[in-house]
Copies of this chain bind each other. A is one copy, B any other.
Amino acid sequence: EAVIHSDPGFSRENQYFQSQNERYEAAVRKSVHLKEKMHQMGWTENRPEIKYCYRALGGDLAFNIHRVFKNSILALGTDEQIAKWIPLADKYHIIGTYAQTELGHGTFLRGLETTAVFDISTQEFTLNTPKISAMKWWPGDLGRSATHAVVFAQLYIKGKCYGLHAFILQIRSLCDHSPAPGVIVGDIGPKMNFEHIDNGYLMLQNINIPRENMLSRFSQVLPDGTYVKQGSDKINYLTMIVTRVQMLWTEVIPMLLRACTIAIRYSVVRRQSKLNPSDPEAKILDYQTQQQKLLPLLATAYAFHFMNAFVNEFYNKGYTEIKQGNFESLPELHALTSGLKAIITDFCTAGAEVCLRACGGHGYSALSGLPFLYTKLVASCIYEGENTVLFLQTARFLVKCLAAAHSDQSIPASAAYLSSVGSGKCKAWTKTDFLKPDVYAEAYRHRATRLLGNAATKLQALVQSGAEQYEAWNKCTIQLVQAAKAHCHYIVVKNFIDTVEKLKNEAEIQKIVKHLCDLFALHGIFSNTGDFLHAGYISGDQMDMVTASYLDLLAVIRSDAVPLVDAFDFTDESLNSALGCYDGHIYQRLYEWAQKSPTNQQVSRAYASYLKPLFQSAPSKL
């Protein structure tokens, strides 16, 4: 990271003062500069240095969707297509975008309206945007940069629709960057964040592309118009799975780690009010309410960090199988990554808001870096699948698993617990019993099984009483989402427990990580008491023990909180926060940074034009 920070071309000093135009320009400049730097240093895309570069730069780079463009070609393209396009994209000889979402259509892929009609006589596809709601809308790198696009469109051959397929087309000239004939393209304007990304719109009017430009690893159109398909219907989801897995470790989980680092460091410097009337003002992290806000988030950050390692491993295995034509793991991979994407982005977003608010007014200053983290994270709850929709995908998978369990069929590993019959009552007798992973894991398992069982029973009852399947499903969705959340929550707790076990040869570290695991698990029970009390699995008295253990843990983690965020090892430059620096000089830095703001560098016309005439009417002596 030192290489990056020592290079003035990567400075983030003015980031919080820039306009949308300036941020876009800086992001393009840095991305091109990074490519040169990589070449100089001999780094390649797959070396770990790159991960550190992204980390050091805080994600403020262009061409993220260019990567998705490449991923989609790698996932859906033939070997020839990969050989043709990937080298061009790797060298930035072309910039690509991934044009899926439309103005009127998001998550429901079958609803997309863009068309691609195959003409046997010319051996070309003709792409069209039939109406305004079919305009491609949101793709990053599209608004001002991209020369090419992978466009998803409904494939028509001889009047018959074969569903959604991906096509590569050129949208801007490589000579002068003007839009290709028949292409209307632009930027969708300001957003809550991502000013550095040129999210764009794209309308296509009779654009012809050769037959070779349909991505054809899993389905192709032969010269005579014959349609050949191989593999699952769900294969279009593959790019989304890849993207979801990547976004978690590049754009989501690290943001929570950053927010925790900033808020916890601030909370041991900031003093407010008195705990003991005879002492000076207390550090705010010594207040129980501040610990309640930040320390469970710290545990969550570790939980997701470990979860991410698991997901990557699981995904790599599945991806390899699928590329080899074995689609068996696709449903579980899709369900698991959908649900985890949803719960992780939900928790990280809520966590960033908590961190911001826990720093009071200074958290609300852009200079804290926290507004930036929040506004970036909230987008992750929406993009790459809206979270409610994703939870329902997971729920649909779980309902199938439950049915399989009831008929003694085998169930994928992540849902295997659904077939085991647990006890109806929690066996804890004292508050320390709740520090046993078996005890809380069983509680989470019971909750997930119960919520899913209830939702499935209701669904079945509705259908049996004559409701249509779709209508019954809709009437159960609130409860199905709850069940999917409980399942994902359990998966995260379970993985945390497994991680602690694996540390058995490092007793000191294991001890601290075990505290974090306990805190994560008990905070989850403490924050969702009703789910555990409802059927009496945990009694009111036992819940009081959970509360007591949970509050004890806050005090335990308090003493390690600073080293635990220091271990995330963010440089000051990478955090880019006036509150979060390692040296703790928050007030000096806020004052210095504020003085650099353009609001202090220029005299506003407001005074001369509007205020001066008023003030000059005031009586001369006040």
- A residues contacting B by CB (< 8 A) are 16-17, 19-21, 24-25, 28-29, 32, 88, 91-95, 101, 103-108, 111, 132-133, 135, 137-138, 143-145, 147, 170, 174-175, 177, 186-192, 198, 201, 270-277, 281, 286-289, 292-293, 353, 356-357, 360-361, 363-367, 371, 374-375, 378-379, 381-383, 386-388, 392, 468, 470-471, 474-479, 481, 528-536, 540, 543, 547, 551, 587-588, 590-591, 593-600, 602, 604-607, 609-612, 614-619, 622
For A188, the closest partner residue in chain B by CB is B594
Q: Which of A147, A177, A600 has the most CB of B within 10 A?
A: A600
* B residues less than 8 Å from A175 (CB atoms): 615-616
* B residues less than 8 Å from A143 (CB atoms): 599-600
B288-A614 in contact (CB<8A): no
A188-B20 in contact (CB<8A): no
* B residues less than 8 Å from A535 (CB atoms): 540
* B residues less than 8 Å from A92 (CB atoms): 611, 614
User: Which of B276, B287, B607 touches A144 (beta carbons < 8 Å)?
Assistant: B607
Copies of chain A in the complex:
2
A597-B187 in contact (CB<8A): yes
Q: How far is the CB of A72 from chain B (nearest CB, A)?
A: 17
User: Which of B28, B104, B189 touches A16 (beta carbons < 8 Å)?
Assistant: B189
CA distance A73 to B363 in the complex (A): 30
B186-A606 in contact (CB<8A): no
* B residues less than 8 Å from A104 (CB atoms): 270-271, 587
Given A361-B106, A481-B289, A588-B132, A186 and B600 touching (CB < 8 A)?
yes
Q: How far is the CB of A347 from chain B (nearest CB, A)?
A: 14
CA distance A132 to B588 in the complex (A): 7
B111-A272 in contact (CB<8A): yes
Q: Which of A188, A292, A528 has the most CB of B within 10 A?
A: A188
* B residues less than 8 Å from A20 (CB atoms): 598-599
* B residues less than 8 Å from A188 (CB atoms): 365, 590, 594, 597
Given A132-B588, A543-B534, A551 and B478 touching (CB < 8 A)?
yes
* B residues less than 8 Å from A105 (CB atoms): 272
B611-A32 in contact (CB<8A): yes
* B residues less than 8 Å from A475 (CB atoms): 288, 551
